Structure 1
Amino acid sequence: MSSAPLTPTGRAREHAVVQLLPGVRAALVDTDRIRMHVLESGPADGVPVVFVHGNLSTGRFYEHLMPRLPRYRVLAPDMRGFGRSEPAPLDATRGLADWADDLDALLRALGIDAPPHLVGWSTGAAAIARYALDRPVASLTLIGPVSPYGYGGVHADGRPCAPDFAGSGGGTANPEVVRRIAEGDASADSPASIRNVMNAFYFAPTHREPPEREDLLVDEILRTLTGPTGYPGDAEASPHWPGTAPGTSGVLNALSPKYCDWTGIVDLAPKPPVLWTHGSADLVVADGSPLEMGTVGASGAVPGWPGPDAFPAQPMVTQIREVLGRYAAAGGTVRTEVLAGSGHGPHLDAADAWLAVFTDFLSTAHIR
């Protein structure tokens, strides 16, 4: 690992992380919000490209891409509640604004004032869209993004299925998955073990990471802050099906349609170019995702489902397409790439194809 500091201010401290790829460095950076762990590669004077991970992951889910972008200053932080960053609570009532503000604080601490190219996966995509609502960016790349209307409990037009947004938020998590993460379960003993969850939902069914890399990624997920202020967050009892409504803290509540809404990008001026990449076999963000309560209810897994008129399966991809269509109609540039056969993480299970699309996009991206 290079001994060169990330910033001349001295506020970043080199941080040893085992088995980093050649050319990738790690540091802990003290910001005016929280202490953040970040991976970096490329020249200090390179154009900044920042990768923001999704729920139940860390910056290391991008590490394999970083040495392949040698012209850019590439950063991949661990966001609040995940990885090796300070285990600070997440205020869900702000949606993903805590993540957006943390990212801004990180870039300021590193002395980066040029508008960055931002890449966000799933939850991270909603966070970078939130960042762009308040600050200039060079481009936005969305990987399997959370719907612009949030995750769970909404009709196609974004209207909530219940007035308290029941069917979304922290109470919809699988408690066995949460328990096993909290206990550090790295096994494959149960469908709820995070190793099996990762292989079932992050990648295409045909993809498997090499054993050492799989172990590393499992270890990264097990660094998640669990509980009412982290994953999944707190919950409120609801008189509406399925009996749980979002609380006010933690990541799943931040993703609830009660608080998560990035439709405002349609009104951005100027409009950064947008690249939307999506796996055709994505099970997490899909029209009728098996993880979303409308689909779960229709399957009979949770009794009392009020039916498709009252609580339909959320058409997430259709919602993304509609909002980005309005963005383009309002003068923005949107490039869409669906990677055939890829799962929720095309940057992982179709890395070569995804990187080719991304680098081509970067070569032409500019603020309009």
Structure 2
Amino acid sequence: MVDGIVSSRITTPRLTAQVLEVPERAGEPVVFVHGNVSSGLFWQRQMLALPAGYRPIAVDLRGFGGSDPLPVDATRGLRDYSEDVESVCAALELSDAHFVGWSMGGGVVMRLLRDRPTLVRTLTLVNPVSPYGFGGTRDAEGTLISPDGACAGAAGANPDFVRRLSEGDRTDADPFSPRNVMRTFYVKPPFVVPDEDELVESMLSTVTGEDNYPGDGRESQTWPGAAPGTRGVLNTMAPNYFRLDDLHTVEPKPPILWLRGADDQIVSDTSMFDLAYLGQLGAIPGWPGAETHPPQPMVTQTRAVLDQYAAAGGTYEEVVIANSGHSPHLEAPAEFAAALSRGLAMH
């Protein structure tokens, strides 16, 4: 753990969660929510970079880091996670807070905004999962490729990566080791993150299996022949379970800052983790073509939902950080911290 960060375990009616904080920091609470296959440790240096007057808090989601390895009900979308975060805020006696969510954590905090808007002072989305989930949609409006969510969910997980994750592989000997996946996709190569060994351990804290990562699957009559099951992490983001096309209806509407790396390979209109895009590239056989299975326009979808939010009376700002990938908070820490500080001051 980076000097200046301390951890504790907070027990709520829902779970016992590991929480990272900066001792003796007081002020407006800023709650950081990590992404998939990671933990609050990915936020440490941005927590320390917050200016005076803010209290940084990073929460480990269930099944990650030091939080309870509870099963995940995918049919609730990301609500298992958002309600866990809400329960930690209640245990810490936070009546409201700024929320910062990265990747899957961006979906978690959007879900929190949709369900509990009065809890949110500002919302910062960092390379967030699309408001229409991950995979299985075809256009800016989030139209499903198939009603069963085919082309999304746990069936899309790379089995070699899952195996190496479950075995605790710390090496860089294989392209699908957690270390190499971080080097290749979490950031823009050839960047190597500070604290790499600690962040690999963070990845390896992920609980694997059908109840957690990646989740279960089922057969589908639609290409590629599999659809999301009802359990586990990846299925929570399947578009038949997770959709936020009504985000513009919340009241009040806190300001939203959308921060993203320009060269993200994970959340992108051409994502290397989108089965339809991989099919278009020929990496998955039998792709039916762009008429029925175009790549999911993830960034376009997010912009469309946020434009609708703004048209309904909200405000948002999109900030694109050049020469960075999926983790601009790690790759461009000074630029990220400056943008985040501006976003926190928007309320």
CA shift digits 1:137-156 (9 cap, x unpaired):
10100000111111101111
Are 1:34 and 2:18 an aligned pair? no
Are 1:122 and 2:103 an aligned pair? yes
Residue 180 of structure 1 aligns to a residue whose secondary structure is helix
Letter in 2 for 1:264: D
Are 1:165 and 2:143 an aligned pair? no
Out of 177, 185, 189, the residue aligned to residue 201 of structure 1 is 185
User: Residues 21 and 64 of structure 1 are in contact (CA less than 8 Å); yes or no, is this contact kept in structure 2?
Assistant: no
CA shift digits 1:240-266 (9 cap, x unpaired):
110110001111000111111122211
Q: 1:275 to 1:34 in 2, by over 3 A?
A: same
Out of 326, 350, 354, the residue aligned to residue 308 of structure 2 is 326
User: Residues 260 and 326 of structure 2 are in contact (CA less than 8 Å); yes or no, is this contact kept in structure 1?
Assistant: yes
User: Residues 147 and 320 of structure 1 are in contact (CA less than 8 Å); yes or no, is this contact kept in structure 2?
Assistant: yes
- Alpha-carbon separation, structure 2, partners of 1:20 and 1:357: 22
Are 1:88 and 2:70 an aligned pair? yes
Q: Following TM superposition, by how much is the alpha carbon of 1:284 offset from its aligned partner in structure 2, in angstroms?
A: 0.4
Q: Which runs of 4+ in 1 moved over 3 A?
A: 42-45
Which residue in the other structure is 1:14 paired with?
A: none
CA shift digits 1:138-176 (9 cap, x unpaired):
010000011111110111121111221111001110011
Residue 163 of structure 2 aligns to a residue whose secondary structure is helix
Residue 3 of structure 2 aligns to a residue whose secondary structure is coil
Are 1:149 and 2:132 an aligned pair? yes
Which residue in the other structure is 1:253 paired with?
A: 235
Q: How does 1:5-24 map to 2 (within 5 A)?
A: 19-22=1-4, 24=5
Out of 259, 267, 277, the residue aligned to residue 249 of structure 2 is 267
Residue 246 of structure 2 aligns to a residue whose secondary structure is helix
TM-score for the superposition, normalised by structure 2: 0.97
Letter in 1 for 2:276: G
- Alpha-carbon separation, structure 2, partners of 1:21 and 1:276: 29
- Alpha-carbon separation, structure 2, partners of 1:314 and 1:340: 22
| 5+ residue gaps, structure 2 | none
Are 1:232 and 2:229 an aligned pair? no
Residue 290 of structure 1 aligns to a residue whose secondary structure is coil
Out of 45, 52, 55, the residue aligned to residue 36 of structure 2 is 55
- Alpha-carbon separation, structure 2, partners of 1:203 and 1:301: 22
| 5+ residue gaps, structure 1 | 1-18
Q: Following TM superposition, by how much is the alpha carbon of 1:44 offset from its aligned partner in structure 2, in angstroms?
A: 6.0
User: Residues 147 and 240 of structure 2 are in contact (CA less than 8 Å); yes or no, is this contact kept in structure 1?
Assistant: no
Which residue in the other structure is 1:15 paired with?
A: none
Query: When the two structures are aligned, how many residues end up with a matched partner?
Result: 343
Residue 258 of structure 1 aligns to a residue whose secondary structure is coil
Letter in 1 for 2:121: A
Q: Following TM superposition, by how much is the alpha carbon of 1:71 offset from its aligned partner in structure 2, in angstroms?
A: 2.2
Q: 1:339 to 1:44 in 2, by over 3 A?
A: closer
- Alpha-carbon separation, structure 2, partners of 1:193 and 1:331: 45
Q: Tell me how large the CA RMSD over aligned residues is.
A: 1.1
Out of 154, 166, 169, the residue aligned to residue 185 of structure 1 is 169
Which residue in the other structure is 1:3 paired with?
A: none
Are 1:112 and 2:90 an aligned pair? no
Letter in 2 for 1:257: P
- Alpha-carbon separation, structure 1, partners of 2:47 and 2:103: 19
Q: Following TM superposition, by how much is the alpha carbon of 1:303 offset from its aligned partner in structure 2, in angstroms?
A: 1.3
- Alpha-carbon separation, structure 1, partners of 2:342 and 2:108: 23
TM-score for the superposition, normalised by structure 1: 0.91
Q: Following TM superposition, by how much is the alpha carbon of 1:187 offset from its aligned partner in structure 2, in angstroms?
A: 0.6
Out of 209, 223, 242, the residue aligned to residue 224 of structure 2 is 242
Letter in 2 for 1:147: S
Q: Following TM superposition, by how much is the alpha carbon of 1:42 offset from its aligned partner in structure 2, in angstroms?
A: 5.4
Which residue in the other structure is 1:8 paired with?
A: none
User: Residues 42 and 74 of structure 1 are in contact (CA less than 8 Å); yes or no, is this contact kept in structure 2?
Assistant: no
Which residue in the other structure is 2:294 paired with?
A: 312
- Alpha-carbon separation, structure 1, partners of 2:203 and 2:16: 19
Tell which has more relative contact order, 1 or 2 (C-alpha 8 A, sep 6+): 2
User: Residues 288 and 294 of structure 1 are in contact (CA less than 8 Å); yes or no, is this contact kept in structure 2?
Assistant: no
CA shift digits 1:179-217 (9 cap, x unpaired):
00000001111111010000111112231124xx10100
- Alpha-carbon separation, structure 1, partners of 2:25 and 2:191: 34
- Alpha-carbon separation, structure 2, partners of 1:323 and 1:120: 17
CA shift digits 1:254-297 (9 cap, x unpaired):
01111111222111111000000011100001111111011111
Residue 341 of structure 1 aligns to a residue whose secondary structure is coil
